[in-house]
Amino acid sequence: MVRTAGKEAIAGQKMQRTSNNHSKSNMRFAQTGFTELLLEANNLNAGEFQCWAFCPGMQFNSPHKWWGDRGPRDFPHEGVDICLYEDRSGQVHRLDEKTRIPVMADGVVRAMFKDYLGQALIVEHDDLQGGGTYLSIYAHARPREGLRRGHAVRAGDIIATIADTRHSKAKILPHLHFSIGRPSPDLAYENFVWNIMRDPGRVTLLNPMDAIDGPWRTFDPEDMDGAGL
Ligand SMILES: [Zn+2]
């Protein structure tokens, strides 16, 4: 699932605690249990996981890349990139392409389409926790064999694994791009492509950090030099 500690752990551990956000939000999907489901699906529960680690470029709405030259993105980030986590000894690990992706809540698979690192899946959640219809979007992934549009899924069902990005042009670490949105009432899912997510007339993107429902902190990418970021 993940790199083990020791020589395979990411170098450069003097990561600053630029923030330490372990608080739960008041948003209604703060209790998705998504982090717990992700840890369970990948056997990371056995005392290893402490918190997710995000540099600013991985976060929602960021104008910056966190790979390559770390220059500007073409569009503000539509979600959050779940890639790194810290264990209880403070060591940072990354998710790899064997990482299994559970669905956040009961719903229906509405779209599956190619993105530039793999495939993206959109799951529609009807009246999620009494708050209306939401979409959870899992991108840069490899969908589970046999999974199709229209399939009903339950919270925790494994719908994909993280795509292998070793041969990508961007040479970016494998990661789960995770978005949360509210669909417009007349949103059509046929021929869905990434750009549709960016159209506020069709999808209202929300900050997915609340839906992750787990502890996280940010770090300065300068502290990760040598880590392949
Ligand atoms: Zn992303």
Q: What is the pTM of this model?
A: 0.86
Q: Output the CA 127–ligand 1 centroid distance in Å.
A: 26
**For the residues of 170-222, what is the DSSP string, one character each?**
T-PPP-EEEEEEEE-TT---TT--HHHHT-TTTEEEE-THHHH-S-EEE--GG
Cα(228) to ligand 1 centroid in Å equals 17
Of residues 178, 180, 192, the one with CA closest to residue 113: 192
Query: 42-56, 137-151, 169-183: which has the minimum mean pLDDT?
Result: 42-56
Q: Is 113 helix (H, G, I), strand (E, B) or coil?
A: strand
- Picking from 138, 177, 185, 181, the residue whose alpha carbon sits closest to that of residue 157 is 138
Structure tokens at 16: 């600053």
Distance CA 113, CA 127 (A): 24
* 89/72 Cα distance (integer angstroms): 33
Planar angle of CA 148, 154, 156, nearest 5 degrees? 105
Distance 181 CA to ligand 1 centre (A): 14
Count CB-CB contacts under 10 A for residue 186. Answer: 7
SS3 content of the chain, % helix, strand, coil (to 5): 15, 30, 55
- 87-146 per-position pLDDT tens digit: 999 889 999 999 999 999 999 999 999 998 999 999 999 977 777 899 999 999 999 999
Domains in the chain, ordered, with CATH?
A: 6-97+211-221 (no CATH), 100-207 (2.70.70.10)
Q: Which residues lie at CB < 5 A from ion ligand 1?
A: 81, 177
